[in-house]
Chain A
Amino acid sequence: MYEHLETAANPAGLKRVVVDPVSRVEGHGKVTLLLDAENRVQQARLHIVEFRGFEKFIQGRPYWELPVLVQRLCGICPVSHHLAAAKAIDQLVGIDPADLPPAADKLRRLLHFGQVLQSHALHFFYLSSPDLLFGFDSEIGKRSVVAVLADYPDIGLQGVKLRKYGQEVIRMVSGKRVHGTGAIPGGMNKALSREERDYLLQDIGQIVDWAQAAVALIKRVHGADRAFNDAFATIRSNYLSLVKADGALELYHGGIRAKNADGATLFDHYDYCAYPELIREEVRSWTYMKFPYLTALGKADGWYRVGPLARINNCDFIDTPLAEAARVEFKQQLADQGLVHSTLAFHWARMIELLHCAESIQALLHDPDLLSGELVAQGSKRYEGIGVIEAPRGTLFHHYQIDDNDIVTKANLIVSTTSNNTGMNESVRQVAAAYLSGRELTEPLLNQLEVAIRAYDPCLSCATHAVGKMPLQVELVDAAGQVVDRLTRHGNGEFARGDAG
C-alpha cells in the first residue's frame, strides 16, 4: 500500500527529518523521513538501531539455562520468553506439551495470564491512556501517567492496580515480579501454596470488574471519533496467531492460524514445530530488525501482523463469557466484512484480552491442580526444541539445537515485535503520507507518528513514556546537511522551535 515510500527513487537532494527516538522498540528506534522541496514524503523508515546478539552468545551454554537466560531479552514480557524457551527445552528432554503434568501446565498458564494482564495494563494505562484521554494533540504536559493519575484518578489507579495484580500473580508463581524462575525442563519448580492462592483470590473479583471497565472505556474512546480512529495509521494486512484446536483464542499453546486481509484462512492448526517452512525473515540494510514473511506468499505479499488485533481477528470465539461478549461487540462495531484492520483497534483488542486474562485467572485459581500433583515429567533426550507462545505483543518463536553434551549449538528467535516490523513501517508511512506530506513541520506530526507505532505496543516503548514524557526532536535538514528547522519537545512538555545553531 505504501511500500513505494520505503526507499526514495532519488534520495540525493531530499530533506531529511529525524524523529529520534520515537520509542524504545526492542532497544532504541527512530524514524527518518526524506522530503522533497514541496515537503512531500519520499521515504519513511522506522529503524531499529540496537543489536545484542543473543542468538550467537547463548551458543555454548547448557540448555537448562535458557528460560532464565533469554528472558533477559525483555524486562516487559520476560515471562513470555521464559515460557517459550521452557516449551522448547521441554522437547529437549522429550516432553511435548500434552505430556506436561497438569499442575505444571496450569501453573504456566496462570503465570502467562498474569504476564499478559500486567503487560496490557501497562501499555494501555501507563502509555496510551494519556493520548486517548487527553487527545493526540492535547497539551504535551498532559501526556503522562502522572497527569492521568491527577486528572482521572479513578482510571489511573485502576490501571496501576490492574498491572500490580498481574505482577503479583507472576511473583506468586515465579518468586519475583521481573525475571523470576519457575519453568524447568519438563515442568515447574513449585506449586502454588494455599496462602498464595488465597492471597490472589482476594482481589480477583475486583480485577475482573476493572477489566470490564477498561473495555467499556476503550469502546467509548474509540467511538468518540469513529471515522478518524478507524482510518488512522490503518493498513490492510495478513494476520497470524495461535488458536486452540476448537478455534478459540489461545495464549499459551495451540496451532498457527493465518488469515489474509479479506478474512480468508491461509492455513489453520499448523504445527508450529514446522515454522521454518512457514516463515522466512528478510534482512534490510537500514535496520537491525528483520522482516518476517510467509514463505508461501513471498516477500512482497507475505508480511503479516501479530498481537491482540491478529488474535481477535483470527479466533472463532473466546472461551470466557465476558471477553466473548466484548469480542462479539467489537466485531459488530468495527468489522465491515470479516476483519478489523484499524491500527488503533489494537487497543480495543488488547483490553478484550485483558478481560479474558482476568477471567481465566479467576477460573484457574479455583483449580486444585495448582496446589499439588506432579510438577515435572521426564522423557528421553532430543536434539532440537521449538517453543511458540502468544506473548502480549504477538506470536513468539524460540528454536534451539543442542549437542551430545547438552550445549546449545544453534538458536533462532523471532520476537513478536519483529513480526510487526513491516506493519509498523507501513503505518508510519501511512501517517507520513496522509498527515505530513506536503505540509509544514508541526507538533501534532510528532505525536501522530508516535501514536501509530505505539498502537503496536512495541516492546520497549514504555520506558520513556511510562516514567516521563517521550522526548522528541525533529530536525529538518537540507540537502547540504544544514539544519534548517528544528522542533523540540522539552521534558516539561513545552515546545521550542527555532533555527539550528
Chain B
Amino acid sequence: MSGTLTIDGKTIPFAAGQSVIEAARCAGIYIPHLCHKPGYAPHGSCKLCTVFVNGRKTSACTYPAAADQNVVSDTPELQQDRLRLTQMLFVEGNHFCPSCEKSGNCQLQGVAYHLRMLDNHYPHFYPQRQVDASHPDILLDHNRCIFCNLCVRASRDHDGKNVFAIAGRGINKRLIVNSASGQLKDSDISIDDQATQVCPTGAILVKRTGYQVPIGERWYDRQPISELALGKEDSHER
C-alpha cells in the first residue's frame, strides 16, 4: 500500500512498508532520533522520534505509515520532550564532550545541538562505568553508552555474530559482551564489523584514530544533523 499522509501540515508520499520516520526522511523532513537507523530493524527505545499520529503519541520509527495519517512532529511541546529526554541521556552517562574523540561526529551531540540544548537541567548521576580496552583494535567505553541497541542489532542482524546485548534494568542497565570473560578481546568482533562502526556516540571506537578530523571539518561543524540525517541512506550515520 502506498499513498500520502500529512506531517506538520505538509502532504508527503509514502511507500508500502515504510515507517512514519522513513516516509518523513524520504520527503526531506527530519524527525530527531538516536536509536533509529535506516536499514536497521526499528527499536523504538529512545523515544526522541515521538510524534502525534492522528492525535496519539507514538514512536515514528516503529509506527507504519498509512494513508491519510495526520502526523504532528514539530511542536514546542514535542521539542521540549525531546530536549528533556536528551538531557536525561547526558546526565545518566558520562559525556565529557571537551575531550571526547567523537565530539563533532557524535549523534547525541548533534541532536542536542539541533534542540539548542544549553544545559543538562537534571542533577548528574556520574555513574561508575568501565572502559574495556582489552581488544587490540576496538575500545568500548561504557561511560558513553546510551543503550540505543544499534550495536546489538548490527552484530546480530548484519554481522551475524551476536557480540552485544543489553542487560539489567533502570540504573543497572548496561551493555554486555558475549564472551566467556565478558571482555571484548575474547569476543568475535572485528574492526570491519558494522557493530564496530555503528555507535552514534563514542562508546565503541576504533582505537588510535581519534582527533584525525580537524575542527571545522567534522560532521556537525559543517551541517546540522537535521540536514545530514536526510542524506542518502543516512550516510553520515555510517
Interface residues in chain A, defined as those with a beta carbon under 8 Å from any beta carbon in chain B: 60-62, 64-65, 67-69, 72, 93, 174-176, 179-182, 184-185, 189-190, 405-407
Contacts and interface: CB of A to CB of B under 8 A. Distances in A.
Nearest to A181: B211
Contacts of A175: 214-216
Contacts of B216: 175
Contact of B131 (A174, A176, A181, A407): A407
Contact of B98 (A64, A174, A179, A185): A179
A190 B213 CA distance: 8
A65 B133 contact: no
A406 B216 CA distance: 28
In order of increasing CB-CB distance, the 4 nearest A-B pairs are A175-B215, A405-B133, A69-B99, A190-B214
A72 B131 contact: no
A60 B141 CA distance: 11
Interface string B116-146: 0000000000000001011000010000000
21 contacts: A62-B210, A64-B208, A65-B101, A65-B210, A68-B98, A68-B99, A69-B99, A72-B99, A93-B208, A174-B215, A176-B215, A180-B215, A181-B214, A182-B214, A189-B211, A189-B214, A190-B217, A405-B133, A405-B134, A406-B133, A407-B131
Given A184-B212, A189-B212, A190-B214, A62 B207 contact: yes
A64 B214 contact: no
Contacts of A61: 131
A68 B210 CA distance: 10
Contacts of A405: 133-134
Interface residues of B, number: 17
A62 B214 contact: no
B25 to A, nearest CB: 31
Nearest to B134: A405
A133 to B, nearest CB: 37
A422 to B, nearest CB: 32
B139 A62 contact: yes
A65 B99 contact: yes
A357 to B, nearest CB: 23
Contacts of A69: 99
A437 B207 CA distance: 60
Contacts of A72: 98-99
Interface of B: 98-99, 101, 131, 133-134, 139, 207-208, 210-217
A68 B211 contact: yes
Given A60-B131, A64-B210, A69-B99, 20 more contacts: A62-B133, A64-B207, A65-B99, A65-B210, A67-B211, A68-B101, A175-B215, A175-B216, A176-B215, A181-B215, A185-B208, A189-B211, A189-B212, A189-B213, A190-B214, A190-B217, A406-B133, A406-B208, A407-B131, A407-B133
A190 B214 CA distance: 7
A62 B98 CA distance: 15
A60 B99 CA distance: 14
A212 to B, nearest CB: 33
A406 B131 CA distance: 11
A93 B99 CA distance: 20
A189 B215 CA distance: 10
A500 B214 CA distance: 56
B211 A184 contact: yes
Contacts of A182: 214
Nearest to A64: B210
Contacts of B101: 64-65, 68
A175 B217 CA distance: 9
Nearest to A72: B98
Nearest to A58: B99
Contacts of B213: 189
Contacts of A60: 131
Contacts of B212: 184, 189
A189 B211 CA distance: 7
Contacts of B208: 64, 93, 185, 406
Contacts of B217: 190
A79 B29 CA distance: 42
A82 to B, nearest CB: 11
Nearest to A402: B133
Contacts of B207: 62, 64, 406
Contacts of A180: 215
A174 B211 CA distance: 11
Contacts of B98: 68, 72, 179
B102 to A, nearest CB: 11
Nearest to A191: B214
A406 to B, nearest CB: 6
A193 to B, nearest CB: 11
